[in-house]
Copies of this chain bind each other. A is one copy, B any other.
């Protein structure tokens, strides 16, 4: 570490050293340093569909009652507002096409977090000592890979296809790990179950069931948990409706479920939630107590208020209509500008915010690749390099994550055209 004076450097923790890959920081820096660049990289949400009026209305309604306003401005509890946790029970039951009674779900099964990201981080803290193992899809959400690195976890990729993680491959991986005497170190299977960031793939229904069964089968000396990240669940535009992995965990022992209102409502309000197996409730609450005592209470009460009005569903429909048009614009542009490029393929997502595009293996896409430089500097377009989305054991270098979240359909078309020009230079 550099210091301007003779004073010695700071000796940081292992966590800090492990957390320093900072891919997101690099991307944000690129965005700031290249203001004229069209970003197909940004994971922000559509600014035009942010709920300005709804937030305004409901905040003023919420604070109009003096006693209620005082509650909202006071500390909440560490696991979060009873009002919102109570409102989430029927909300979640509806997503499950069920009722709270059928599900036997209570407010105290839920925890509220600062986005769902905080729950991902808390689960890492709760389960992993350095050297413990997490199994992930390939590709998977790169920010979670960073969180795993920061706790010193070993990450193992499981073979994944267009229906998501392959149960046979998962079973084989676990059998191999048992053979190697490592099964006791396998703490978690991480799955983005709906319209995965980055691939857009949803795990097939039958596989959901099989993977939950495998988590129980391989819970031998200790329990093998599943973290179901359902961040994009509500952003479904067409195609099949999937039951959650959680719904197959009938004894409620193995699946930690998490979802967020950052995509469907507002990332600036930053409210996510988790549904926890009994054994996890106190540990997660203790860890969250150390982190922040509880996320912003006002925001939780706002979300409870918004869910209570019935306007939330209408809002989500508007958001979905907007993203559907953007997804279609990106897929149309892919068809227009990329279909004559040999060896270039892409996924057709039924929801979420991303199109995953694959180039011939001879064309790497990383931050330090000629393609990335050419795309940003010459063609003024940026993407997320796919290699960030693979665990260290199975990195593929020829993919790109393309986001249609922020730009208008027109700008998406322009960006895709520019990107195709950049790629043509390397074919």
Contact = CB atoms under 8 A, between A and B. Distances in A.
A269 B301 CA distance: 11
Interface string A279-310: 11011011101111111111101000000000
Contacts of A225: 10
Nearest to A23: B289
A312 to B, nearest CB: 14
Contact of A283 (B19, B59, B69, B216): B19
Interface in A107-138: 113-115, 117-118, 121, 124-129, 132
B289 A22 contact: yes
A63 B74 contact: no
B13 A128 contact: yes
Interface stretch (A42-50, A166-174, A231-239): A42-50
Interface stretch (A95-103, A143-151, A196-204): A143-151
A59 B69 CA distance: 13
A86 interface: no
A4 interface: yes
Interface string A179-202: 000001001000000000000000
Contact of A297 (B268, B277, B295): B268
B63 A7 contact: no
A216 B3 CA distance: 13
Interface residues of A, number: 102
Contact of A287 (B16, B48, B72): B16
A52 B70 contact: yes
Contact of A73 (B51, B76, B129): B51
A75 B267 contact: yes
Given A221-B8, A222-B9, A223-B11, A270 B296 contact: yes
B12 A223 contact: no
Given A8-B219, A253-B5, A267-B73, A126 B15 contact: yes
Interface string A56-75: 10011001101001111111
**Residue of A20, A70, A251 ringed by the most chain B CB atoms within 10 A:** A70
A260 to B, nearest CB: 11
A37 interface: no
A7 to B, nearest CB: 5
A28 interface: yes
Given A10-B222, A146-B290, 16 more contacts: A4-B251, A5-B253, A7-B216, A10-B223, A13-B132, A22-B285, A22-B289, A25-B282, A45-B75, A52-B63, A75-B267, A115-B293, A268-B296, A269-B296, A269-B298, A270-B294
